[in-house]
Structures are given as C-alpha cells and as structure tokens.
Amino acid sequence: MKNLTALITGASEGLGKSFAIECAQLGFNLVLVSLPETGLEFLANYLRRNFGVQVFCMETDLTRNNSDVEIFKLLETNKLRVNVLINNAGIGNWSWFEEKDPDFYRAQIELNVTNTVLLTRSFLSHIDKSEPSYILNVGSLGGHFVVPKKQVYGATKSFIGYFTRCLQLELKSTNVRVSLLSPGGINTKSELLVMNKNLKGFAKATILEADFVAKVAIQGMMKGKKEIIPGFANRLLLTVDKVIPSFWKEILMRRNLKTILSV
C-alpha cells in the first residue's frame, strides 16, 4: 500500500507483532513501539529483509508521563510522518479484584486508557486530516460484557469503545477513519494458551489466532469499518447478548466460564 506509514504500539509480540507483519505484507512502512529490550530490532530486520519496507523502532514504557509527546517529537526529529495509528498495547488480566495490587491497576489504566487517548490526541495534531489516515483502537469483546475476573480490564476496554465511537462522529467530515477492534480471546501469551485449552464448546469457538485477527482488523480498518469483530462465533455472541434477558446471560456466563472461574 503506497504512502502509508503505521505506528504500532506493543509491537514486539502477540497481536502487535501480527499487526506489524500484516502491515509490512501490505507494503506499509512502520514505526514500531515496544518496551525496552523486547528484541524489537530482530522483528524490524525480519520485516525489512522480507518485505522491503522501512521500519523505525522506538523503545519506551508507555505508562510513563509524556511518552506520547516524546514519541511524536522523536518522529519529527527523524523527519518521519505517520498516517496510521494502531493503539494495540494493553495490559490484560484474569484475577479477582483484590488479588492485584494498586500499582497493577494504575499501570493497566495508564496503558489501556490514558496512553490510547493521549497518543490519539498527538496523532491528530500530527496528520493532515484531509489526507486518508486511519486509527485502529484495540478494544475487546469483553468491553461489551460484564465478566468476573476482568473488572478493571473490561472497564478500560468499554472506555476505548465509547472513546472510539465519539471520535468517529467528531471526525466524520475529515478523511480520518477510526475503527474499533473488538476481538474475543486470542492465542497470544503462553498463559492464555493454557487457559484457552481448557475451554469447551462455544467458548472454545470464540478463540482465534493473532495472525487471523490482525488480517481481519487491517482489512476492516482500510474499509473504514466502525467496529471489527473477528470470527463468526464472536459476532453471534454479541448479537445473542443484545436479545436475551440478563438473568439468562448470567446463567450462560456461569456455565461457560465455570472451569476457569474455579481456577
């Protein structure tokens, strides 16, 4: 794809890495952001060698104050312009509320919410809004549901959904397309793989591979889709959720997640 340069956060592994590979395959130049010492340069070299795209790496902790401003300053210093922003970095968890300490929740909210908002703010100042540009915010299907053990995480993703829908309205008259990605479970980290293996039936069918999610997401983003929900089972789940009464939802939720909730 000509003239597109994507800034991807959390790019060294998981879904972020799949986004980087998918974008490189489509010919996007890349600005990859990850925490320090995550081996990002190895990925960058692989992408340069195999897809002939330009890749610029930045290593920073996105929960630090001003990291959003520093990223865009560094882009200016290096005379780089981006026109695609993929807000992917996020901290997930699966734990009872009191099992995590306050610092965990502080970092989770900083990364999932504050950083997404502020990077988006800086991105909008950086681009020419009359030129085609794209924002892809990674939310979660969990942001649509009330799921035990995902209390703060789910709330941060609900925030991302609301934030994205408002931006879609505000930027309607520009050439900036804003999409919300709401994936179900993705096989990324090893602990998720173990957890997802215990799922059965319909719950299992909602789990997808990162490369597939990234492909569907980038296709949707390029088409300017408002919300992208990869996988038939996940779209069905959301449709059913809208029509069934809440007491049924609770029964279904308990039955499907019984194995995991008891962990």
Ligand X SMILES: NC(=O)c1ccc[n+]([C@@H]2O[C@H](COP(=O)([O-])OP(=O)(O)OC[C@H]3O[C@@H](n4cnc5c(N)ncnc54)[C@H](OP(=O)(O)O)[C@@H]3O)[C@@H](O)[C@H]2O)c1
Interface residues with ligand X (CB under 6 A) are 10-16, 34-35, 38, 61-63, 88-92, 111, 138, 140, 183, 185-186, 188-189, 192
Pick the closer one to ligand X by CB: 91 or 252. Answer: 91
Pick the closer one to ligand X by CB: 2 or 103. Answer: 103
CA distance readout (Å), 204 to 51, 192, 196, 224: 34, 12, 7, 29
Nearest distance in Å: CB 17, ligand X: 8
Quote the DSSP letter at residue 174. Answer: S
Pick the closer one to ligand X by CB: 132 or 225. Answer: 225
- Contacts for 158 with CB less than 8 Å, ≥ 6 apart: 139, 143, 144
Pick the closer one to ligand X by CB: 73 or 129. Answer: 73
Nearest distance in Å: CB 229, ligand X: 11
Nearest distance in Å: CB 70, ligand X: 12
Q: How many CB atoms lie under 10 A from the CB of residue 170?
A: 12
Pick the closer one to ligand X by CB: 92 or 231. Answer: 92
- Contacts for 84 with CB less than 8 Å, ≥ 6 apart: 4, 5, 6, 7, 23, 28, 133, 134, 135, 136, 221
- In single-letter form, the type of residue at position 63 comes to T
Nearest distance in Å: CB 153, ligand X: 7
Q: Are 211 and 21 in contact (CB under 8 A)?
A: yes
Nearest distance in Å: CB 245, ligand X: 26
**For residues 9 and 2, what is the distance between their CA atoms, to the nearest angstrom?**
21
Q: Taking the CA of residue 222 as centre, how many other CA atoms within 13 Å lie in the half-sphere pointing to its CB?
A: 15
